[in-house]
Amino acid sequence: MESISKRSKRVPSKRERGSVIFNRISTLLSLLVFLLFLPANVFSFDLSDLISDLDLTRVPGGEDYLEELADPAADVVPAGENISHVFQDGFGNEANLNQLGGGNFGFVEQNGNDNWVDILQSNIGSNDSAAVLFQTGDSNRASLFSEGEGNRILANQEGLGNILDAIQNGSGHLVLVSQAGEGQQAFISQTGFNHIARISQSQNSNIASITQDGISNEANITQDGSGNQANIVQAGNGIIGAPGGDDDHSHGNNGHDQDNNGNHYLHCHGPQHACNDILISVPNANNFAEILQNGDQNLASILQQGDSNTAGISQGGNLNHADIIQNGILNYAQVEQEGEDNFTIITQLGTGHSAEVTQIGSNNSAEITQLGHDREIQVEQFGNGRVFSIVQQ
């Protein structure tokens, strides 16, 4: 009887070798095509894209003035003064613009029928605030609320039945929104200081939501397709764990626990329990998240709590689902999906984790959980029906 070891050394036939080479070449070509069509920067939408097709003749100062308004640190309204402009062409349009305090700039232009906007600006500081809205088409609705100083909202709605709701509390926030198509919905809430939120939607019936709290968080969503849903939350203090006591006893016996309040910490068992359990609360700040959806009915969500976390999701195709959860400091996660019905969830709790998932095909599944600090993983799934799951701690 031939031994297993001998069978394992059987030389593949020429046909088998050719099949393996063909499969590898096919996989490499698929990856190359995916990378060629993947944008160098997942999100490139900025002010120039928002105003590129607009007639700015009614805007005082034109494009240069809007560029200044897009800078929350710029002072472009004379101290103590409020400036407002409302232009309406069509039937049944309604614009409500209320300004409290001083140094507010408000601009509304409506072209079409049955459009509605409600703007409330309350500037309580020395830096001026600005809200600029263009509506072209029918039955578009926008509600813009800004309280604080140096806040900016610049938005453009084109099409039918689009909805925008933006709320700013605090100072130094920037919102840029572009909606083109029908039935788009965008919701933004900013609390704290110096956040940036950008949303770009095209085609029909997409939903995008951004919630930001803390200091200097940035979130970007772009949707090109129909029926996509994207949600980014950057709010709440992060909780990281660190072993206390003598460092000589804080290595090698660490485990991961979770208390009844959902806080995560490291539990250290040194000699005679020399080290203690420590929970460290990390203010929410300097996080970056972006979502790109190109296709139909894709779902994506990112939750970040802590400091200096980075997360990105890129979806091409239909019915893909990706979630990223980060709680801690300096974590990095990236998901790229191309195909249909792919699923990924990445959970990072702690410090310095890195996780990347690439799915090209259909019905692939990847679940990654990283606990503690400095865990790294890369997952590539090419083909259909592949399943992967891991917990690193």
Give per-residue pLDDT as tens, 178-230: 999 999 999 999 999 999 999 999 999 999 999 999 999 999 999 999 999 99
The better pLDDT of the pair 213, 263 is held by 213
Taking the model in full, what pTM does it have? 0.81
Read off the pLDDT of each residue in 235-256 and give the average, rounded to a whole number: 45
Q: What is the rounded CA–CA span in Å between residue 379 and residue 393?
A: 17
Note whether 266 and 254 are within 8 A (CB).
Answer: yes
Q: How confident is the model at residue 48 (pLDDT cuts 50, 70, 90)?
A: confident
Tell me the range of 26-40, 63-77, 261-275, 347-361 where mean pLDDT is highest: 347-361
Write down the domain spans for the chain: 42-205, 243-277
What CA–CA distances, in Å, run from 320 to 155, 226, 229? 28, 13, 11
Give per-residue pLDDT as tens, 310-348: 999 999 999 999 999 999 999 999 999 999 999 999 999
Q: What is the mean pLDDT of the chain?
A: 81
